[in-house]
Amino acid sequence: MSKQLHSELSQRESSVSSPSAERLRAWRLYFESALALVDVLDDELERDAGIPLRWYDVLVHLEETPEGLRMNELAERILYSKSGFTRVVDRMEEAALVRRVRPDNDRRSILVVLTDLGRETLERARSYHRDGIERHFSQHLSAHEIKALTRALEKITTHARPLRPGRIAQREA
């Protein structure tokens, strides 16, 4: 390999940082835990409340906006991928949890609104979901660890939120 090419590769490698082994371990543990918890909470919510976690996410956003949200606004707010979002809303409408309405003042828009059944389903699902959070997450950490983890994740969220504008809304689980 020529000296110039070797020098360029060396410079390129040194300009790309690599986390330490401890930081990589922390990332891996966070990533594995987060994915496992999402899977477990989704399975339990579906079993106990009859809705997947993705639907729960939609219902929470609609509860926060009683007048409804435009489809594109709702798609931007959900934590899950926007892929197949229209089908998700179709299924939720078939289950009578949401309804689409066309506002009188803007006939081009379609709002998604929470129904009474959707509100009842959300309330029932919320108790199961919060119980799952307690059993699978909270009870395994001390109050001190929860505070430390919260502070650490707030720092990461401060960095990550602008990278996904509109996709990570502040809210309670």
Parse the chain into domains and list their residue ranges: 21-163
Predicted model pTM: 0.79
Q: What is the mean pLDDT of the chain?
A: 87
Of 46-55, 131-140, 141-150, 160-169, minimum mean pLDDT range: 160-169
Measured distance CA(60)–CA(62) in Å, rounded? 5
User: Contact, 110 vs 102, CB < 8 A?
Assistant: yes
Nearest Cα to 152, choosing from 39, 40, 56, 29? Answer: 29
Joined tokens for residue 149 = 């983890």
Joined tokens for residue 148 = 């430390």
CATH of domain 21-163: 1.10.10.10
Q: Which residue has the tokens 């899977």?
A: 39
- CA dihedral angle for residue 20, residue 21, residue 27, residue 32, rounded to 10 degrees: 170
pLDDT greater than 60 at residue 168: no
